[in-house]
Structure 1
Amino acid sequence: MVHWAAAFACSRSLVLELGRTRNLSLELCGPDEQCSLCGFALGFPLHDYGAFMAALGSDSWWRRTLYLSGGALLAAAAYLLHELLVIRKQQDLDSTDVIILHQFSRPCTSAPSLSPFCLMLETYLRMGDLPYQNYFDGKLSPQGKMPWIEYNQEQVSGIEFILEFLEEQLGVNLNRSLTPQERAVSHAITKLVEEHFYWTMAYCQWVDNLEETRKMLPVSGPFSSLIKWMLSHLTSGIVKREMYGHGIGRYPKEEVYALMEKDMRTLATLLGDKKYIMGPKLSSVDATVFGHLALAMWTLPGTRPEQLIKSELINLAMYCDRMRRKFWPEWVVDFSDFEYSEGGASSDTPSLLPDCDSYSGTETSEEELTNCTLSCSHTTDTEGSSGSLFDSELEMEASEVEQLKL
């Protein structure tokens, strides 16, 4: 039997399955029960439904059929409405010679994303001064990847393949100024961050610091707490399984954090007193390193990586702020974001970032910036707009971005 209320399908075992459903084993269910996620409809068992079932059982067969048919029609209408909205949104985003960037929605924090790869790729597009449109649908690529892009109806997923595609199709190469040896070093640093450091940060984010991360999930509505709980624990379970398969998840917490600290200290040593990872000029590795370190700076309150980057490894904090100021002018922070407080908690206030759909690489006025037409040819921050760790670097060299496009 299916009882419909407030767009929720409730039953002991769901008869109705719409579209592509996923069975989730959650603590909300009994040992032999499962929950089904159908578009925006959640199915879970109700513990106080005996009276309803008794009344339903006493009705004639045509009344029960009517209940089931009504629930099915409501579910079908909700699903079709969702699909129509998705199709309409997709049609709105289909643009010629404009990159469509599929990524997760902006979180409830000042950082643009909880995914280091989404933040990395969007930063890379801004570094290359490429116009793009954001599509915050959370839909994975055909290969099961996030983020991914579409360009003139062609789909590309996987960070490495996306960068190769952008170089071939649009001529964007942020490593053009590097020597062959420097490119090899850049590649090695990229793999250190993506294949090792990433997993230690994922452990901190989705396992050890899950409660704070859950607060940042971009979910709203009357059932937001329940949905956040389900999504956070689902993601945590996936991360644990993937970490175990990788190998790093087979070690205890103390050893995982020891590996994370070694990686952070290595990055701090490689950076030294240089402006960027490979020296005075930007390269693609800067987008990668920034995308991962920014999580430690702004999304992991009260954790060991936040403590390291804001106290001992201050050059990494300065580096993150440098990248933020240069390529994310709408990302506003204050001085408290650069202070570590043990046991700190994240804010429940909405993200300070506008949930922008589109990006343009052309220079815009301050009014246009407010309306989410962002610019990669940045000017210096106005007084009081945001805090900075390096007042001596308030003057940004606009020529750097121009050199990346040559």
Structure 2
Amino acid sequence: MLFRTDTVRRSVTMEGLGSLADLGVKLVAGYRSVVLGAGAVVAVWLARKIITTKKKQKLRREWDSVGQDVVLLHQFLRGKYCPNLSPFALKVETFLRLANIKYEVDSKSPYGPKGKCPWITINGEDVADSEFVLDNLTQRFNINLESHLSTQQVASLEAVRILADEHLFWCVITWRYWLDRCVIFLTTQDLGLFFNTFMPVFMVPGIKHRAKEQGIGIHSPEEIYQICKKDCATLAGVLGDNDFFGGEKPSRADCAVFGQLAQLMWNAPGTHYEALLTNVFPCLASYCLRMKDTEITRFNLTNTALL
């Protein structure tokens, strides 16, 4: 009996040791898999980091090659009827032309440090957001497009600029990308099959979310249209019989207003939004044409290349 009991104990002990050994082997194998997997992830990350860094260095060399005091304007590709689908890009480009600042356009990298379009590079410095861009250029080149205006007029025009950039803008993009699902807008661009197919997939939910956060998205399509109409009525009232919002000649505020109204004038063909300018407030349509045909800012609607 003692012999048999001892034999059983040794057998159990050996089985236990065998199980522990198997467990150890599995743990080591699992650990090696984790290490190898982590190593592969790190290797891929490093490779992408190196490639991205080299790409940025190459782009930086290209950007710096435009020359001293030459603005490199990063923006979207040209449209069919309007120089740019971004009102803020058109705003900056119009300012550059009004201020007679030498510039070149880059469409390879439209999104800047803040993830927004447009942005500029000048003398190795990157500046993002259209208002900060204009502030920077105004100070850098000692530009004053309001020299013919009083302090009160300049302040009033800043309110007009805010109406266009911060209010009318939301009406336009909410209709363009969400309510109309990019249908009309895509007919005004040469973006190719890929973007024509997938742009609505990403833009519709994205703009819907942003519009609801901003507040305009909680309204009905008709209410949004009425808000846009009211904005246009306000702009038409401020413009009055003047050629420009700056009076006899364009001011800095005109760059912003033109950038926004141009989206209704040329990037919403055949819609009731376009009709707000062409039928309801024709003075705004005439204003857009004057801005387009101003000697300095003139652009060709045939191919939207700035002359």
TM-score by length of 1: 0.59
2:127 to 156, 162, 170: 156
| SS in structure 1 at match of 2:120 | strand
Higher relative contact order (CA 8 A, sep 6+): 2
State the Cα distance separating 1:267 from its structure 2 match: 0.8
State the Cα distance separating 1:328 from its structure 2 match: 4.2
* Aligned residue in 1 for 2:290: 322
- Show structure 1 runs of 5+ residues with no match: 1-72, 334-351, 355-371, 375-406
Contact 2:111 2:117 survives alignment (8 Å): yes
Deviating 4+ runs (over 3 angstroms): 82-90, 215-218, 327-330
| SS in structure 2 at match of 1:307 | helix
1:168 to 132, 139, 162: 139
Which protein has the bigger helix share?
2
Residue type of the partner of 1:167? T
1:104 paired with 2:76, answer yes
* Aligned residue in 2 for 1:401: none
State the Cα distance separating 1:207 from its structure 2 match: 1.9
TM alignment of 1:185-200, pairs within 5 A? 185-200=156-171
State the Cα distance separating 1:292 from its structure 2 match: 0.7
* Aligned residue in 2 for 1:92: 62
Judged with a 3 Å threshold, the aligned counterparts in structure 2 of structure 1 residues 83 and 104 are, in CA distance, closer, same or farther, namely farther
* Aligned residue in 1 for 2:105: 134
Residue type of the partner of 1:214? L
Judged with a 3 Å threshold, the aligned counterparts in structure 2 of structure 1 residues 353 and 281 are, in CA distance, closer, same or farther, namely closer
TM alignment of 1:296-307, pairs within 5 A? 296-307=264-275
Contact 2:91 2:130 survives alignment (8 Å): no
* Identity in percent: 32
Contact 2:186 2:196 survives alignment (8 Å): yes
State the Cα distance separating 1:216 from its structure 2 match: 3.6
* Aligned residue in 1 for 2:250: 282
CA deviation string 1:262-286 (max 9, x = no partner): 0011111111111111311321111
Equivalents in 1 of 2:254, 2:68: separation in Å?
29
CA deviation string 1:233-285 (max 9, x = no partner): 31232221111111111111111111000001111111111111131132111
State the Cα distance separating 1:229 from its structure 2 match: 2.0
* Aligned residue in 2 for 1:331: 300
Contact 1:214 1:232 survives alignment (8 Å): no
2:304 to 353, 356, 360: 353
Q: Number of aligned pairs? A: 259
Contact 1:93 1:133 survives alignment (8 Å): no
Root-mean-square deviation (Å):
2.5
TM-score by length of 2: 0.77
Residue type of the partner of 1:98? V
Contact 2:264 2:273 survives alignment (8 Å): yes
CA deviation string 1:137-168 (max 9, x = no partner): 24422222211111111111122211211122
Judged with a 3 Å threshold, the aligned counterparts in structure 2 of structure 1 residues 167 and 226 are, in CA distance, closer, same or farther, namely closer
Equivalents in 1 of 2:95, 2:285: separation in Å?
19
Contact 2:74 2:117 survives alignment (8 Å): yes
* Aligned residue in 2 for 1:27: none
State the Cα distance separating 1:227 from its structure 2 match: 3.3
Larger radius of gyration: 2
| SS in structure 2 at match of 1:244 | helix
Residue type of the partner of 1:353? T
Equivalents in 1 of 2:94, 2:170: separation in Å?
21
